[in-house]
Structure 1
Amino acid sequence: MQSAARTRWACRRGMLELDVILMPFMDNHYDNLPEAEQLIFQRLLEGIDPELYAWFMGHEKCEDPELAEMIKKIHKLNGAPVSF
């Protein structure tokens, strides 16, 4: 498992839209996640920006069930409506 500082750095993306989603989640909720979910979040951050953007915006469905649940959790905890 990587450090919180390294995970925080991985949240900084090349797309502002992703920064606006990932950074508040990292700052406000990451430390309260169970270790297993922290690992899933870290795995999510390994994705490429266009793929992450498509998943978070609901343009494409993430086929990985763990990552799809993490995306839903991020939206919910960030206070965004989840319609997919």
Structure 2
Amino acid sequence: MDEQTLLKKLRWRCRRGMRELDQLFERYLDSRWGSAPADEREAFLFLLDCEDDKLWRWFMGYEACPHAHLLPLLHRISALKA
């Protein structure tokens, strides 16, 4: 699958039940996805499979993410400017 098609599919998958999560994920796609290394892309795909309520608690710091390999990406996404 070409990169543009993949990006469109990912953008669709970034549509969550919470607008705040939509914005976080879309910012990542717009600013980092194109230059992200393979391991970071895999971590992002893993995040997209997680439940919204867990994601929100991890991003807000209400709960520690139990997946250590996701922590750098969670911090990177949280730090992206709107």
Q: Report the Cα distance in structure 2 between the residues aligned to 1:37 and 1:8, rounded to whole angstroms.
A: 16
* 2:13 aligned with 1:10: yes
Could you tell me which runs of 5 or more consecutive residues in structure 1 were left unpaired when the two chains were aligned.
Answer: none
Partner in structure 2 of residue 47 of structure 1:
50
Match of 1:38 among 12, 36, 41: 41
Could you tell me which runs of 5 or more consecutive residues in structure 2 were left unpaired when the two chains were aligned.
Answer: 1-5
Equivalent position amino acid for 2:57 in 1: A
Q: What's the TM-score once normalised by structure 1's chain length?
A: 0.82
Q: CA deviation at 1:56?
A: 0.6
Instruction: Spell out, residue by residue over 1:40-67, the C-alpha distance to the aligned partner (whole angstroms, 9 max, x if none).
Output: 1101110010000000111111010111
> Aligned pair count?
78
List structure 1 segments (4+ residues) > 3 angstroms apart after TM superposition: none
Q: CA deviation at 1:4?
A: 2.6
Q: CA deviation at 1:24?
A: 1.0
What value does the CA root-mean-square deviation take over the aligned residues? 1.8
Partner in structure 1 of residue 3 of structure 2:
none
Q: Report which of the two has the higher share of helix.
A: 2
Q: CA deviation at 1:79?
A: 3.6
Match of 1:57 among 42, 56, 60: 60
Identity %: 35
Q: Report the Cα distance in structure 1 between the residues aligned to 2:20 and 2:40, rounded to whole angstroms.
A: 22
